[in-house]
């Protein structure tokens, strides 16, 4: 079972990222579970969302405290939230940032495997809005192999209707541009 | 054939209610409401469900509409939570007393104050003595299955009582997970169309809900008490029939690795799934731990509970509600009475956990089992504690 924690700000679509990951896994015949961090929704405030994906039925009902992968949708979050908290020993933090792996490691003191992508630029370029949830799914897939990229295609098209193709394009570009530490 | 879908549990609950072709849905549409009635209102508005959707001004009115609709012979549904349920309670007693087969999905959430929108079982305990049948789901599939079961039981002429299907607020209502959604044919094969025994009909007038003077009130209540006692065999029969059609088996007390267990933890609702993982881990370390999970809460399945825990020396009752009686939680008090009546004398400790959305983790269950052993070894007087509460 792979456990993923998404960090975003209210309105950035972290919950949608989690939902799409679980739905894609379920559509692939696997087991998946997605849920938000329950609470009053406030635009701009730090929020979390959680996903479990596995080959067996999932019986955990608690939040994810020791994720395999953490995805950070907003570049400013590592300054105010300990996004690496509880990360498993071989876990990965996937960051939306313009900076290099070395730079973010120096700035935030990460001591784990990192993956970086400039998702904001991709989203502005392809979608013309600073919403990085579908974009960062490409980065998650590149860094974790949790799903085949194609698993998201139909789902994103269905979810976003006329904007579906563009959202998948942003996702695909992030998949290609994400730099993953060995 | 049922189809496997990834879906939010609330949406799946609503889809199931729609497959059951309900006639009337009455609900208060805002906080503390869930997506269950939101989606039902969409299905009605989109013409996919031919029902009256009545978005009333309060939960009190929601249950009042349900009572009127059910008395007129309609298949009715409502859903609420916590404070909303509390506002509904006055009419809930009337629904069960009038023997109206209303079905409610109760998205279990805590009672204010302090203001809390999160999950615990305070509302389930508030419903405890209202005369409704109550079942408890542990995951999304069970929500779907128990809603079908609820209608089959409620509308059976041997029962004619309202049913609450309990599902944990947020932990289940807001969870996306895989669900086998039945087809309309399967649902209809399991739940036949509703045929009211008596109904309000101008051509054949009856009186429903008259005054019960002291000369008849006791007898009316005795009849109601007999009705819920007699419901139990029908509840079990309906689960047997369910297994024949859908292949999934339900029991009033579900167990997990309890057969040879020296320590049994009693759980209610979705924390049972986490507790199973804890049992697996403790078993791997040689500890003989098992679970008894309450599936049927009302009427309480005394024999099945006694059978499930008979071999245990230590019992830890884990519940998500307080009783404020100064000596134990509401479920534990009841279970102790069942044990006493049946001549069982295990060491029982009551863990109050998961109040107001506090997570209950695998480690929490491991600590509870250990704490139970320590207390029993020290022969501490039996009692209760609120788990993980800061001093």
Claim to verify: residue B222 and residue B278 sit in the same structural domain: no
- Give the B-side interface with A, CB within 8 Å: 4-6, 117-119, 170-171, 174-178, 270-271, 273-274, 276-277, 357, 359-362
| Cis amide prior to A30 (ω within 30 degrees) | no
Claim to verify: residue B238 and residue B302 sit in the same structural domain: no
Contact state of B4 with A32 under an 8 Å Cβ cutoff: no
> Within an 8 Å CB–CB cutoff, is residue A42 touching chain B?
no
The tens digit of pLDDT for each residue in A59-117 reads 999 999 999 999 999 999 999 999 999 999 999 999 999 999 999 999 999 999 999 99
Determine the residue among B138, B170, B176 to mutate to test chain A binding: the one whose Cβ has the most chain A Cβ atoms within 10 Å: B176
> Within an 8 Å CB–CB cutoff, is residue A63 touching chain B?
yes
Q: How far is CA A139 from the centre of its chain?
A: 7
The tens digit of pLDDT for each residue in A107-139 reads 999 999 999 999 999 999 999 998 999 999 999
Claim to verify: residue B209 and residue B84 sit in the same structural domain: yes
Claim to verify: residue B242 and residue B259 sit in the same structural domain: no
Task: Tell which of B195, B217, B246 closes a domain.
Answer: B246
**pTM for the whole structure:** 0.96
For A23, name the nearest residue in chain B, comparing CA atoms only.
B6
Claim to verify: residue B382 and residue B242 sit in the same structural domain: no
Task: Tell which of B216, B246, B276 closes a domain.
Answer: B246
Q: How far is CA A157 from CA A161, A170, B138, B275, in A?
A: 6, 12, 32, 38
Q: What is the CATH number of the domain that holds B295?
A: 3.40.50.920
Q: Which of B274, B357, B360 sits opposite A38 (nearest CB)?
A: B357
Claim to verify: residue B177 and residue B260 sit in the same structural domain: no
| Alpha-carbon distance A61 to nearest alpha carbon in chain B (angstroms) | 6
Claim to verify: residue B236 and residue B123 sit in the same structural domain: yes
Contact state of B175 with A58 under an 8 Å Cβ cutoff: no
Claim to verify: residue B269 and residue B237 sit in the same structural domain: no
Q: What ipTM goes with this model?
A: 0.93
Range of the domain at A106: 2-180
Q: Which of A22, A61, A62 sits opposite B176 (nearest CB)?
A: A22
Determine, yes or no, domain membership for B391. Answer: no
Query: pLDDT at residue A44 above 90?
Result: no
| Cis amide prior to B114 (ω within 30 degrees) | yes
Mean pLDDT by 10 residues, chain B (391 residues): 93 98 96 95 97 97 98 98 98 98 98 95 98 98 98 98 98 97 96 96 94 97 98 98 97 97 98 96 98 98 98 98 96 98 98 96 97 98 96 88
Claim to verify: residue B276 and residue B327 sit in the same structural domain: yes
Matching residue, tokens 């929704």? A41
Q: What is the CATH number of the domain that holds B217?
A: 3.40.50.970
The tens digit of pLDDT for each residue in B313-339 reads 999 999 999 999 999 999 999 999 999
Claim to verify: residue B67 and residue B51 sit in the same structural domain: yes
For B178, name the nearest residue in chain A, comparing CA atoms only.
A26
Q: What is the CATH number of the domain that holds A17?
A: 3.40.920.10
Alpha-carbon dihedral A145, A147, A150, A151, rounded to 10 degrees: -170
Claim to verify: residue B257 and residue B205 sit in the same structural domain: no
CB B335 within 8 A of CB B317: yes
Q: How far is CA B390 from CA B121, B174, B208, B254, B386, in A?
A: 21, 28, 52, 33, 10
Determine, yes or no, domain membership for B369. Answer: yes
Range of the domain at B282: 253-386
Determine, yes or no, domain membership for B370. Answer: yes
Determine, yes or no, domain membership for B105. Answer: yes
| Alpha-carbon distance B388 to nearest alpha carbon in chain A (angstroms) | 15
* Closest residue by Cα to residue A48 from A71, A75, A76: A71
Claim to verify: residue B216 and residue B264 sit in the same structural domain: no
Task: Tell which of B246, B275, B295 closes a domain.
Answer: B246
Determine the residue among B34, B120, B170, B178 to mutate to test chain A binding: the one whose Cβ has the most chain A Cβ atoms within 10 Å: B178
């Amino acid at each position: 079972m792979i456990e993923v924690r998404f960090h975003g700000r209210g309105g950035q679509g972290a919950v949608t990222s989690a939902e799409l990951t679980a739905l894609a896994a379920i559509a692939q015949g696997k087991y998946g579970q997605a849920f938000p961090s329950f609470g009053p929704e406030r635009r701009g405030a730090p929020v979390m969302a959680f996903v479990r994906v596995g080959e067996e039925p999932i019986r955990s009902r608690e939040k994810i405290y020791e994720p395999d992968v953490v995805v950070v949708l907003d570049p400013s979050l590592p300054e105010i939230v300990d996004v690496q908290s509880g990360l498993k020993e071989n876990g990965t933090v996937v960051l939306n940032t313009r900076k290099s792996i070395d730079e973010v490691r120096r700035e935030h003191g990460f001591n784990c495997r990192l993956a970086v992508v400039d998702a904001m630029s991709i989203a502005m370029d392809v979608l013309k809005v600073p919403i990085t949830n579908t974009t960062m799914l490409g980065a998650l897939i590149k860094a974790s192999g949790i799903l085949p990229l194609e698993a998201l295609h139909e789902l994103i098209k269905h979810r976003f209707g006329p904007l579906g193709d563009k959202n998948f394009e942003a996702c695909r570009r992030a998949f290609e541009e994400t730099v993953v530490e060995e | 054939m049922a189809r496997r879908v990834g879906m939010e549990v609330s949406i799946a609950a609503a889809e199931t209610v729609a497959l059951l072709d309900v006639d009337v849905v009455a609900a208060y549409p805002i906080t503390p409401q869930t997506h269950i009635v939101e989606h039902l209102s969409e299905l009605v508005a989109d013409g996919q469900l031919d029902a009256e959707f009545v978005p009333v001004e309060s939960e009190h009115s929601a249950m009042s509409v349900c009572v009127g609709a059910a008395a007129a012979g309609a298949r009715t549904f409502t859903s609420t939570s916590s404070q909303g349920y509390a506002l509904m309670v006055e009419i809930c007693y009337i629904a069960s007393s009038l023997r109206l087969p209303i079905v409610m999905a109760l998205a279990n959430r805590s009672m204010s104050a302090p203001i809390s929108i999160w999950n615990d079982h305070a509302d389930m305990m508030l419903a405890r003595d209202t005369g409704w049948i109550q079942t408890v789901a542990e995951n999304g599939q069970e929500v779907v299955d128990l809603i079908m079961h609820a209608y089959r039981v409620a509308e059976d002429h041997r029962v004619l009582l309202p049913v609450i299907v309990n599902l944990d607020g947020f932990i289940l209502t807001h969870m996306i997970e895989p669900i086998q959604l039945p087809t309309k044919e399967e649902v209809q094969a399991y739940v036949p169309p509703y045929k009211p025994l008596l109904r309000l009909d101008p051509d054949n007038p009856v009186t429903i809900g008259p005054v019960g003077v002291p000369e008849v009130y006791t007898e009316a209540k005795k009849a109601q008490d007999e009705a819920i006692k007699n419901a139990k065999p029908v509840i079990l029969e309906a689960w047997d029939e369910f297994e024949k059609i859908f292949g999934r088996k339900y029991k009033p007390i579900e167990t997990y690795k309890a057969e040879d267990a020296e320590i049994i933890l009693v759980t209610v609702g979705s924390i049972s799934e986490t507790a199973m993982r804890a049992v697996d881990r403790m078993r791997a370390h040689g500890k003989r731990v098992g679970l008894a999970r309450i599936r049927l809460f009302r009427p309480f399945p005394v024999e099945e509970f006694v059978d499930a825990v008979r071999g245990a020396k230590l019992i830890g009752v884990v519940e998500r509600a307080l009783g404020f009686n100064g000596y134990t939680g509401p479920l534990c008090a009841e279970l102790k009475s069942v044990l006493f009546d049946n001549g069982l004398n295990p060491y029982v400790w009551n863990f109050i956990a998961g109040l107001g959305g506090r997570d209950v983790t695998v480690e929490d269950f491991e600590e509870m089992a250990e704490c139970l052993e320590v207390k029993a070894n020290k022969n501490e007087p039996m009692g209760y504690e609120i788990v993980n509460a800061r001093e």
